[in-house]
Amino acid sequence: MAAPGVSGPGTVVPVRVVATRNPDELGAYVRALAPRFEVVALPLLAEQPPEPTEVIALFEAVSTPGLTALWLASARAVAPVVAALQTLGIAPPPAYTVGARTAAAARAAGLVAESVGDDGVAAAQALAARGLAGTTLLAPRAEGGRDDALAILTEAGATVIPAVAYRMAPRAADDPAVAAGLAALPTAAACLVFAPSQVAALAALIDLGRAPPLVAIGPTTAAALAAHGAPARAVAATPDPAGMAAALAAVYPPG
């Protein structure tokens, strides 16, 4: 297969790939794939409030004695966890975040926050390297959120308490947020998929059998694609921008 993104000696013309995430979550991927590929966002999921039982569970989680810190992987988790802390009159612990945007949202909400990496796995590895034995981390997140970063924190000795702070629901085909991504798909070099929930949402909008080459963030997402009759062309060895860039390079080798 010819390598896209190359046009003459020393000249690189970016080729579009579609990524099934919100634009504000793709910064590290845009940088990892440049200059060969231009990333077009296809935000398949929209934020929804948690179920009442999940709100109760979040309140119970923030009341855990001896919380060391918050682990905030998304800016969406900030408002729900701060509201729970304020409602219960609990002084907020410091927060470790994934990405500067999440850190900025946390600081705007009155938290002492530090970004420890631009991607969940890289951030968890950076925090784990500091030593986490004996710590207790509260991780407010989406319902059905990824566990890979939390597993790294747990392996480093932390007690990690996941709690649902929000939900993500599939967007409709006529939602303006998906217009650019859907329009780019027919001519895209690849579609990068980041979660099983995104696979189901994408399958509801298009025929996956006619999609461009599908590249999965990991084996769980690849299994979801296979279950929908659309095997991944490549699977990232690590669930991060470098892993996704390497997987895409396996589909389109440089040259």
- Taking the C-alpha atoms of residue 148 and residue 140, their distance in angstroms, rounded to an integer, is 15
Residue 235 structure tokens: 């699977």
Dihedrals phi, psi of 191, to nearest 5 degrees: -125, 120
Q: Is 130 exposed, middle or buried (0-12, 13-18, 19+ CB in 10 A)?
A: exposed
- Three-state SS at 6: coil
Are residues 196 and 221 in contact, defined by beta-carbon separation less than 8 angstroms?
yes
Residue 208 structure tokens: 């996956």
The CB density around residue 24, as the number of other CB atoms within 10 Å, is 13
- Taking the C-alpha atoms of residue 15 and residue 122, their distance in angstroms, rounded to an integer, is 27
* Residues pairing with 45 in the sheet: 170
> CA triplet 116, 167, 175: central angle to 5 degrees?
105
Predicted confidence at residue 1, as pLDDT, reads 39
Q: Tell me the pLDDT tens digit for each residue of 233-249.
A: 999 998 889 999 999 99
Residue 201 structure tokens: 């949402």
Residue 52 structure tokens: 């009442």
Question: DSSP state, 229?
Answer: T
Are residues 163 and 187 in contact, defined by beta-carbon separation less than 8 angstroms?
no
Predicted confidence at residue 2, as pLDDT, reads 40
Tell me which residues of the chain have a pLDDT lower than 70: 1-13, 255
* Residues pairing with 18 in the sheet: 40, 191
Predicted confidence at residue 22, as pLDDT, reads 92
Are residues 113 and 95 in contact, defined by beta-carbon separation less than 8 angstroms?
yes
Dihedrals phi, psi of 252, to nearest 5 degrees: -125, 80
Are residues 142 and 8 in contact, defined by beta-carbon separation less than 8 angstroms?
no
Helix (H) or strand (E) holding 162, with range, is strand 159-170
Predicted confidence at residue 6, as pLDDT, reads 44
E strand intervals along 49-155: 69-72, 95-97, 113-115, 136-142
